[in-house]
Amino acid sequence: MKLKVFRKDLNLKHVSMTAAGSVSVVRSVIVELEQDGIVGFGESCEDHAVHLMTADAMSEKIARIGPALKDYALADPTAFDRFITPMFQDDAASRCAVEMAACDLWGKIFGRPLRRLWKFCGAGPFYSSFTIGQDSPERALEKFEENPDWPIYRVELGGRGDIPLLEKLRDRTDARFYVDAAGSWGLSQALDYLPHLVRLGVELIEQPLPPDRWEEAKIFKSHSPIPVYADESCLSVEDVSRCVGAFDGVNLRPVKFGGLLGTRRAIGAARAFGLKTMVGSPVETSIGASAAAQFAPVLDALYIDGPRQIDRRIGQGVELDRGRICFSRLNGTGVTSLKSLIRAT
């Protein structure tokens, strides 16, 4: 098996506001695994809210395992994941890109989409929300106008004008609203916001409080008629059980769980504990988004609009028709790469 690693800076269409400041570029790591002329693709991005690895550090760590994979013949991604796990220790982010590529390669070798191999066969149609990043109400409206007519909008909050922003968006659309506070609210603020969120038709609240406020999270959940999902509070499969009683659901981004197999295990654990499930594909290329889309038939919520947030297309895979997921006809995760756009940077 041949391994290649690429670094790519993803330029955002709009500057993204976070607790750490403004972001105009997201740094991505893309992995190719080739066996018998068949290529699988995986991706992982910097995301300091859930892991501390830089893209350069991930690239270097992944490249170092190339010699160990040289004589490996992929037949089962689970066995492959067991093989590579000791090489990454607790670094789920780097492992994610390699494991995702292996899952894509496995599906292509066996000639079937990954979701079919895993028997994720809901009837559909399936939808992704569109993310409107934290911004002023005026700028948020501009982002909305660039992507009208989606059935669901996921609005990132955490500024001073959270409720006025939602009110302006509600004046423009009857679409469903999810909100993500990214742990930026205090308990009293979150409780004050609740009547307004209900009035504005918000259907899902993601990570309202800082991730270590477990007792406060239980209090907020007990008051909220809107389902509350954990993101930064759920960084491993072991964290899923901790979310019971504090959250109604969990956001299971593959980068947190070492790839698609870990995400699949986390979905099973969440179901066993009666929690709702969401998979998020943050700002990334079609490689990561197409992989996350494979879980659509078994989820309560999904956002894979990351490729819409960057200024140029990288890879071809899942398409979004005003939020409706149009799966690729290709096998595996359904993605093929445009190699000219992922040269090492």
pLDDT in tens, 53-110: 999 999 999 999 999 999 999 999 999 999 999 999 889 999 999 999 999 999 999 9
Find, among 213, 206, 214, the residue nearest to 248 by Cα. 206
Q: Angle at which helices 260-272 and 92-110 pack, to 10 degrees?
A: 100
Query: What pLDDT is stored for residue 123 in this prediction?
Result: 82
19 pLDDT exceeds 60?
no
Q: What number is the average pLDDT over the span 151-163?
A: 92
Q: What number is the average pLDDT over the span 257-283?
A: 96
Calculate the dihedral angle through the C-alpha atoms of 318, 320, 323, 329, rounding to the nearest 10 degrees: -50
**Measured distance CA(161)–CA(164) in Å, rounded:** 5
Please answer whether residues 315 and 104 qualify as being in contact, where contact means their C-beta atoms are separated by less than 8 angstroms.
Answer: no
One-letter identity of residue 298: V
Helix (H, G, I), strand (E, B) or coil at 67: helix
H or E element at residue 55: helix 55-64
**Measured distance CA(342)–CA(345) in Å, rounded:** 8
Q: Angle at which helices 92-110 and 77-88 pack, to 10 degrees?
A: 160
Query: What pLDDT is stored for residue 179 in this prediction?
Result: 98
Domains in the chain (CATH in brackets) are 2-113 (3.30.390.10), 117-326 (3.20.20.120)
Q: Tokens 């409720």 correspond to what residue?
A: 163
Q: What is the pLDDT of residues 308-331, one digit of tens each?
A: 999 988 888 999 999 999 999 999
32 pLDDT exceeds 60?
yes
Taking the model in full, what pTM does it have? 0.94
Query: What pLDDT is stored for residue 345 in this prediction?
Result: 36
239 pLDDT exceeds 80?
yes
**Measured distance CA(323)–CA(64) in Å, rounded:** 39
**Measured distance CA(91)–CA(110) in Å, rounded:** 29
Query: What pLDDT is stored for residue 340 in this prediction?
Result: 45
Q: What is the pLDDT of residues 180-222, one digit of tens each?
A: 999 999 999 999 999 999 999 999 999 999 999 999 999 999 9
Q: What number is the average pLDDT over the span 121-127?
A: 90
Find, among 293, 198, 223, the residue nearest to 254 by Cα. 293
Q: What number is the average pLDDT over the span 238-266?
A: 97
Task: Provide the residue count of the chain.
Answer: 345
Q: Which of the four pLDDT bands, split at 50, 70 and 90, describes residue 344? A: very low
Please answer whether residues 252 and 237 qualify as being in contact, where contact means their C-beta atoms are separated by less than 8 angstroms.
Answer: no
Q: Tokens 């995760």 correspond to what residue?
A: 333
Greatest alpha-carbon span in the chain: 60
Query: What pLDDT is stored for residue 306 in this prediction?
Result: 93
Query: What pLDDT is stored for residue 207 in this prediction?
Result: 97
Q: What number is the average pLDDT over the span 136-148?
A: 92
**Measured distance CA(214)–CA(164) in Å, rounded:** 28
343 pLDDT exceeds 90?
no
Average pLDDT, the chain: 94
Q: How many CB atoms lie under 10 A from the CB of residue 295?
A: 25
39 pLDDT exceeds 70?
yes
